[in-house]
Structure 1
Amino acid sequence: MASTHVPLLLSIVMPVYNEAKTFDIILKRVKGAPLPKGMRREIIIVEAASTDGTPAIIDRHKGETGVRIYHLKDYCGKGTKLAFGFKKARGDIIMVQDADLEYDPNDYPKLLKPILLGKTSFVLGSRHLGKGAWTIRRFNGRDRFMAHIMNIGAKSLDTLFNILYGVHLTDPQTMYKVFRRKCIKGVTFKEDGFYMDFEMVIKLIKRGHKPIEVPVKYTSRGFSEGKKVNVVKTGLMDIWVMLKYRF
């Protein structure tokens, strides 16, 4: 029977950029999210170059139990913030958590379960699994057209990824990535932007860590609500990253 030993500490790495409207809400949800009995959490907040008052909002939480805050001096993207946060993580298991409200921290137990049961060392929270639909982005108003473009683009990227790497993942681009810290021992992450999502999955798969996907809840937000991704640039860079690490 597989071991159900629960590690003592979960490291939740949260990259932040211009999230003044959502930061306090997401931090409260992360701090209150259910965890397996006996597990503790540390929340590693990595911020850089915010211009909307986010740093001051973050700093109100200095000294809170289990919260560690880092402000990077130079502008950098999500990938650099994550790589920095991973190096600071002390937990046996590491989880990525964005500072917006698109994903639900109440999904933590199902994300952790396959690892704690010894079924895998790497879990992805799929926005598509079990829903029977790939049109997960449903923006309102003037953002509606971009939702269609992003849904088609994301599906195309997922298909290309599966072909290149011989896997059958429904959502390799998901934010929710959970893995044992040993999975990234000796790994150097180089990508600065959102395309680090693909780099991370690629490098773990190439090291033999085949991910298990579990379904998670997802509430998309449009550009008028604070979404920051540059669709064209990120899509092209995603393709470049997939090809670069494949050949």
Structure 2
Amino acid sequence: MKHKVLSIIMPVYNEARTFEEIFQKVLKQKVPLKKEILIVESGSTDGTRELVMKYATGKAKRKKLPDGTTYQAHSPKKVGNIKVTVFLESKARGKGHALQVGFKEVKGDIILIQDGDLEYKTSEYPKLLKPILSGKTDFVLGSRHAHGSTWKIRKMRGISLYAEIINLGHLFFTTLLNVLYDVSLTDPATMFKVFTSKSAENIHWKSNYFELDWEIVTKLIRKGYRPLEVPVYYASRTNEEGKKIRFFRDGFLVLGAIIRFRFSKI
């Protein structure tokens, strides 16, 4: 199958400090496909929505997700030769919920997830796309471990103990997933998830927070799409710098997701 369009989903919430910079990087990054960018903004309180609205048309329809929640879908706007579409949620319901909006609205045949911060490099896109475009796989993970780094991927300035706790949690959850799903992954929690639209057909997404990262991996594996990991650069930020993961809340949600999605309906 010849792939034609890359759909880049950008969930953004309170990213006023970094949104414009990362959006311009996404916009300018060259890939061997046409691109569409879907921005899902979730009721930010720091001015992010105002920045996002520069790329909206002002013509919006109200749409609904399967869980009954609604969002505004603006008509696409051309920025240069790239189609940009803005979707607005009335309030923050979690990154996973925002991604569900994006998954429902994508038009491309390859999907790439891009957060609204600068922890990862957009220059990695061609490397992430190559295994899919060559027909080697339908599912790629950008691993922060795969190039031989240790399990200590997060090094947060001034809060090294908190970073170590998160690193240990990641190691535990990764090991659990590998055992339950018979895989050998190093970084299922990575933001960089790239997969074909075909591979995600007929999946009923359930997760509203960061556990959606794990739901994507578990459900695609159960459908027979084993991910290929590609090494990527990563520079972690702190909660004060905008990181939104909450160890206890998200830890319990991830644990539940890994176990539940092993046995539940896809």
Within 2, Cα distance between the matches of 1:118 and 1:9?
15
- The count of corresponding residues between Structure 1 and Structure 2 is 240
Counterpart of 2:35 (choices 37, 41, 48) is 41
- The DSSP-based 3-state class of the residue aligned with 2:115 is coil
The alignment-based identity, stated in percent, is: 46
> CA offset at residue 226 of structure 1?
1.0
> CA offset at residue 64 of structure 1?
4.1
Where in structure 1 are there 5+ consecutive unaligned residues?
Answer: none
Structure having the larger proportion of residues in helix: 1
Q: How do 1:49-198 and structure 2 match up within 5 A?
A: 49-62=43-56, 63-65=77-79, 66-141=83-158, 143-198=159-214
> CA offset at residue 72 of structure 1?
1.2
Match of residue 20 from structure 1: 16
Structure having the larger proportion of residues in strand: 2
Query: How big is the alpha-carbon RMSD for the aligned residues of Structure 1 and Structure 2?
Result: 1.2
Moved more, 71-80 or 12-21: 71-80
Match of residue 240 from structure 1: 256
Would the aligned equivalents of 2:37 and 2:84 in 1 still touch at CA under 8 Å? yes
Within 2, Cα distance between the matches of 1:199 and 1:133?
25
The superposition leaves residues 106-148 of structure 1 with CA deviations (integer Å, 9 ceiling, x where unpaired) of 000010000000000111110111133111111112x222111
Counterpart of 1:227 (choices 240, 243, 249) is 243
Match of residue 29 from structure 1: 25
When normalised by structure 1's length, the TM-score is: 0.94
Where in structure 2 are there 5+ consecutive unaligned residues?
Answer: 57-76
The superposition leaves residues 74-122 of structure 1 with CA deviations (integer Å, 9 ceiling, x where unpaired) of 4311111111101111111011111111111100001000000000011
Q: 4+ residue stretches of structure 1 with deviation over 3 A?
A: none
Within 2, Cα distance between the matches of 1:205 and 1:97?
21
